[in-house]
Amino acid sequence: MDLKWMKEAALEGRLAHGKTGTNPPVGAIIVKDEEVVGRGHTSHLGGPHAEVQALKMAGNDAKGATVYCTLEPCAHYGRTTPCCEAIVRVGVSRVVVGIQDPYHKVNGKGIQYLKDHGLDVEVGFCEEEIREDLKDFLERVALEQQD
C-alpha cells in the first residue's frame, strides 16, 4: 500500500509545479485506516509546506496516522517552522518519505528528528518519479553545493 499512497502524494505535489518559487513542489498526504484524511502541496514561497497543509486538513485524524511526503520533511527554521516538528507535535505515528532532501540544512536531519522522537520512518519510494518531479530543485541544490 505504501507505493499506492506515495504515488498519490506525487500527484499532489505536481499541483505545485511552477508556483513555489525556489522551494521544491512537494506533495503530502495523510492516511488513517486506509483513507486519505489530509493532503497538501507546497504553496507560494514563504507559505505553508505540503506537510503542514495536510496536517491542518487532517486535524485530529492525524494522530496515529501515516504521512506520505515526496521529500524529506524540513528540519530548519526559515520562512516557516520545521515540518518535522509539526509532524511530531500532532502525534503522527509513521512517516514514509519518497527521497531524502539533499539541501544542506535538511539532508537527513528531518528523518533523524522523526526517528529520535519515536516515529517509524521509511525512505525510498517512487524515487525515479519523484526525482523527475523535483528535478529543478535537485539540480539547483547540487549546483549550490558545488560552490
Residue 80 is given by DSSP the state: S
> Grid cell 504521512 — which residue?
67
Catalytic residue among 51, 85, 128, 139: 51
The one-letter amino acid at 49: H
Query: Phi and psi for 56 in degrees, rounded to 5?
Result: -60, -45
Cα torsion angle, 107, 110, 114, 120, sign: negative
Residue 139 annotated in active site: no
Catalytic residues: 51
